[in-house]
Structure 1
Amino acid sequence: MKNLVLIVIDLVQDYFNPALWPNSQLPEARQRLVAATNELAALFRAHNLPVIWFRQEFAPDLSDAFLHVQRSGKPYAIQGTAGCQLLPELQIKPEDGILVKKRYSAFFQTGLDAVLGRLQPETLVLAGITTAWCVRSTAVDAYQRDYRVLLAKEAMAGFTARDHLESLHAMNGLVGIALSNAEIAHRIGFSD
């Protein structure tokens, strides 16, 4: 199985800011997420497979943000700030794609459909945050477009462990298959 793409969702600085998300587990999961994501990205690149990074970004007045963000008045991932940039310790390479998204799903008005139309993958490997919202929305949309979906469970997290685990459980076996990095490597023929 070599016809696949790695999609990494929303590992932007503001989601790891404890001042913005005081009850989130993401700051403590950061090092683990970065290590697992960098491992997957390096694996894909070593086999000449595409890596696409997504970052959430909103206008300063939140006019392009989804309703929950507009109503909350809680600005985060604002265009032109460090908060909407991918974590600096991620190993992003010039050949990788980077797309901006404004909604939960990486498919919603991002150009991803056109990119995948050119690449013609059968399988999408999803990583990133949050499992309950953006990853899950993207997984459902990918499945509805008839892609096989692999969920890189070591390279995912939610605001809470409970949200993460419940979402993985809900998706696993229905819209995708949750696997460790080693299982993904084995499944797609990257390991002995």
Structure 2
Amino acid sequence: MNQSRESNYTGVFDTLLGWGAKPALLVIDFTCAYTTPGSPLYAEGVVAAAEASVDLLAIARAGGTPVVYTKVMYHPSGVDGGLFTRKVPALRRLVAGERLVEIDNRVAPQPEDLVIVKNYPSAFFGTSLASTLTAEGIDTLILIGCSTSGCVRATAIDAIQHGFRAIVPRECVGDRHNGPHDANLFDMNAKYADVLPKAEVVAHLKGLARTDAA
């Protein structure tokens, strides 16, 4: 039965979009809310993903790949969170001046990096991200961050809907539990993004750097 189901996917949900001409690295919500023990949003899987992303970020910057960050932050009243903060009340903690809002030091932005504040799962929803990428001639987004089943997935869907290729290095995204993490990697790879080993993404970025230097 399982074999039959899997054979039905062949040629339908196994296509790779591949890389475009100019990638950017999008770091989605690698904030202290997810990496600080005791936080209501803490997830060990996110900590592991952040640690796995340190050298990827260094390689991207060394090769001149633009790096963009997102973080979630709300007005103290929560009014800009709408129904999302009612559904997930723990998000109301994410206000200006709260340490949980800030990006984890292991993957901290550099002065040249753009940091976008968002209120909802997708990095595109209600932000200037699509316009910024288009103006810079970027056609491919490397998505790292958290959570795999939430903001990463929502961003991957919006990326393809806005005409951007999405690449997800599997070691560099994290979630609270392996079940939703693995299921959403499978589903993103089937429909919205290319889920690749981190080593393959690193090799591509290094190749771009060599080409630019030649």
- Aligned alpha-carbon RMSD (Å): 2.1
Instruction: Give the Cα separation in 2 of the matches to 1:153 and 1:162.
Output: 14
**Higher mean displacement: 135-144 or 154-163:** 154-163
- Find the partner of 2:30 among 2, 6, 11: 11
Per residue, is there more helix in 1 or in 2?
A: 2
Contact 2:46 2:173 in 1 (8 A): no
Q: CA deviation digits over 1:167-187, x for unaligned, max 9?
A: 100010321111122111234
Mapping 1:47-126, distance limit 5 Å = 47-74=63-90, 75-126=92-143
- Find the partner of 1:159 among 176, 193, 196: 176
Please state whether the residue corresponding to 2:61 is helix, strand or coil.
helix
- Shift of the 10–136 alpha-carbon distance from structure 1 to 2, 3 Å rule, reads same
Instruction: Give the Cα separation in 1 of the matches to 2:177 and 2:71.
Output: 20
Total equivalences in the alignment: 189
* 1:145 corresponds to: 162
Contact 2:74 2:96 in 1 (8 A): yes
Instruction: Give the Cα separation in 1 of the matches to 2:154 and 2:112.
Output: 26
Q: Which has the larger radius of gyration?
A: 2
Q: Structure 1-normalised TM-score?
A: 0.89
Instruction: Give the Cα separation in 2 of the matches to 1:110 and 1:126.
Output: 16
Residue 190 of structure 1, CA deviation: 4.9
Q: Report the residue type matching 1:46 in the other structure.
A: A
Q: Report the residue type matching 2:58 in the other structure.
A: A
* 1:135 corresponds to: 152
- Find the partner of 2:196 among 163, 179, 185: 179
Please state whether the residue corresponding to 2:123 is helix, strand or coil.
coil
Instruction: Give the Cα separation in 2 of the matches to 1:125 and 1:132.
Output: 16
Residue 66 of structure 1, CA deviation: 4.0
Residue 118 of structure 1, CA deviation: 1.6
Q: Structure 2-normalised TM-score?
A: 0.80
Instruction: Give the Cα separation in 2 of the matches to 1:171 and 1:72.
Output: 23
Q: Report the residue type matching 2:27 in the other structure.
A: V
- Shift of the 15–76 alpha-carbon distance from structure 1 to 2, 3 Å rule, reads farther
Q: Report the residue type matching 2:52 in the other structure.
A: A
- Shift of the 61–165 alpha-carbon distance from structure 1 to 2, 3 Å rule, reads same
Q: Report the residue type matching 2:68 in the other structure.
A: I
Q: Report the residue type matching 1:15 in the other structure.
A: Y
* 1:45 corresponds to: 61
